[in-house]
């Protein structure tokens, strides 16, 4: 077993930390909200993010980054995309002081706006320059609410060094979450990030009262867009998008009310303004940020992603949802299979 530092004590960070402790690992959560840390340490709950649920009692929480990283063999990032770079800079300083080089694992699903970098690229730049092998990404159909109840699922763990993926597979797997290794780190990350954009579109269809056929068609064409972006812009393996991080995560995120991206889309379809939705959500809607980076990538690389571009226009150019649906269905004829 291993000493694991989990950076981020929101819903997914807390659930992953508790799961890893259930597996026999020594787990410490890092977060900057003192009240949440105190609640985890004293009551073994995190009511702000996960109602009516208790963590493994061995899990500890702290706002002291050096304490969290001391003797850590694995550092697991479970942060909003916008926070990863600044936290990574601080992690680098502490690791340099401690003189250690733990394996870095990311459960964050996003693309950084502006730089258009994946999380593994940010971690490599800020912590381990030119050493992508030290990064593992985990992604798959895994809502915190379901894993907390020990529902069955399977998740991909990807690394350019398959031995590191196998280590994560060994430490993270148990009798309710099964991990599969994948050498396509970039593809797993792209799939996990961009499916959040498609989930917003899926929620819009529900808000507009469209039926199952529309939702199935959207998910299928959405997967085609995600694959196109991954292959053309990042050199990903197209088979990855048929796996757990691709179609697996896409299905659950596009159909479950546990998905913040889906809930955001549903409310957009019902006519609510974006800022009101985000203010009331209380947690990050990654797809609303990722779509900015996707839009920039499409423009720079001439990638055809009509669903994602429509979501960008709805969110940031005040385009009308009904107009975008009409435009989508009125596009010129296209072959189904293409890059």
Q: Is residue 222 annotated as involved in ligand binding?
A: no
**Is 139 part of any known ligand binding site?**
no
Asked whether residue 12 is marked as a ligand-binding residue, the answer is yes
Taking residue 161's Cβ as centre, other Cβ atoms within 10 Å add up to: 17
260 annotated to bind ligand = yes
Asked if 104 contacts 123 with a C-beta cutoff of 8 angstroms, the reply is yes
> What is the distance between the alpha carbons of residues 221 and 181, in angstroms, rounded to a whole number?
26
Is there a binding annotation on residue 22? no
Whether 5 has a binding-site annotation, put simply, is no
Radius of gyration of the chain (CA): 19
Q: Is 140 annotated as a binding residue?
A: yes
Has 195 been annotated as catalytic?
Answer: yes
* Best CA proximity match to 190, nearest among 121, 142, 127: 121
Per the annotation, does 319 bind a ligand?
A: no
Asked whether residue 27 is marked as a ligand-binding residue, the answer is no
* Residue 49, marked binder: yes
Catalytic annotation, pick one of 117, 134, 195, 266: 195
Beta strands 3-7 and 74-77, pairing class: parallel
130 among annotated binding-site residues? no
Contact status, residue 174 vs residue 147, Cβ threshold 8 Å: no
308 carries a ligand binding annotation = no
246 is in an annotated binding site: no
Establish whether 316 is an annotated binding residue: no
Q: Is 243 marked as a binding-site residue?
A: no
HEC secondary structure over the chain: CCEEEEECCCHHHHHHHHHHHHCCCEEEEECCCHHHHHHHHHHCEECCCEEEEECCCCCEEECCHHHHHCCCCEEEECCCHHHHHHHHHHHHHHHHHHCCCCEEEECCCCECCCCCCEHHHHHHHHCCCCCHHHEEEEECCCCHHHHHCCCCEEEEEECCCHHHHHHHHHHHCCCCEEEEEECCHHHHHHHHHHHHHHHHHHHHHHHCCCCHHHHHHHHHHHHHHHHHHHHHHHCCCHHHHHCHHHHHHHHHHHHCCCCHHHHHHHHHHCCCCHHHHHHHHCCCCHHHHHHHHHHHHHHHHCCCCHHHHHHHHHHHCCCCHHHHHHHHHCCCCCCCCCC
Residue numbers in the known binding site for NADPH are 11-12, 49, 109, 144, 260, 284, 286
Residue numbers in the known binding site for NAD(+) are 8-13, 144, 260
Residue numbers in the known binding site for substrate are 109, 260-261
Residue numbers in the known binding site are 8-13, 49, 109, 140, 142, 144, 195, 249, 259-261, 284, 286
Q: Which residues are catalytic?
A: 195
Residue numbers in the known binding site for sn-glycerol 3-phosphate are 109, 140, 142, 195, 249, 259-261
């Amino acid at each position: 077993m291993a000493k694991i530092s989990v950076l981020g004590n929101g819903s997914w960070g807390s659930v992953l930390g508790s799961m890893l402790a259930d597996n026999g690992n020594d787990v410490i959560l890092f977060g900057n909200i003192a009240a949440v840390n105190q609640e985890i340490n004293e009551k073994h709950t995190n009511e702000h993010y996960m109602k009516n649920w208790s963590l493994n009692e061995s899990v500890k929480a702290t706002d002291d980054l050096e304490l969290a990283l001391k003797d850590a063999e694995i550092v697991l990032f479970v942060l909003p995309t916008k926070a990863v770079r600044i936290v990574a800079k601080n992690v680098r300083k502490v690791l340099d002081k401690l003189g250690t080089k733990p394996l870095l694992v990311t459960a964050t699903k996003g693309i950084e706006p502006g730089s258009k970098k994946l999380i593994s690229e940010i971690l490599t730049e800020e912590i381990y320059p030119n050493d992508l092998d030290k990064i593992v990404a985990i992604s798959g159909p895994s809502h915190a609410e379901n894993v907390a109840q020990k529902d069955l699922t399977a998740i991909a763990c990807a690394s350019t060094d398959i031995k590191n993926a196998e280590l994560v597979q060994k430490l993270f797997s148990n009798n309710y979450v099964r991990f599969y290794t994948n050498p396509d780190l970039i593809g797993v990350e792209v799939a996990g990030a961009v499916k959040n954009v498609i989930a917003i579109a899926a929620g819009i269809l529900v808000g507009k009262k469209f039926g199952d056929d529309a939702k199935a068609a959207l998910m299928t064409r959405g997967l085609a867009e995600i694959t196109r972006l991954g292959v053309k812009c990042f050199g990903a393996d197209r088979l990855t998008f048929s796996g757990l991080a691709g179609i697996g995560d896409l299905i659950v995120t596009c159909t479950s009310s546990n998905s913040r991206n889906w809930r955001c889309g549903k409310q957009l379809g019902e006519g609510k303004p974006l800022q009101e939705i985000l203010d009331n959500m209380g947690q990050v809607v990654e797809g609303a940020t990722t779509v900015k980076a996707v839009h920039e990538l499409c423009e720079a690389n001439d990638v055809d992603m009509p669903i994602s571009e429509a979501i960008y226009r709805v969110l940031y150019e005040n385009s009308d949802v009904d107009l975008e649906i009409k435009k989508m269905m009125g596009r010129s004829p296209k072959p189904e299979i293409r890059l």
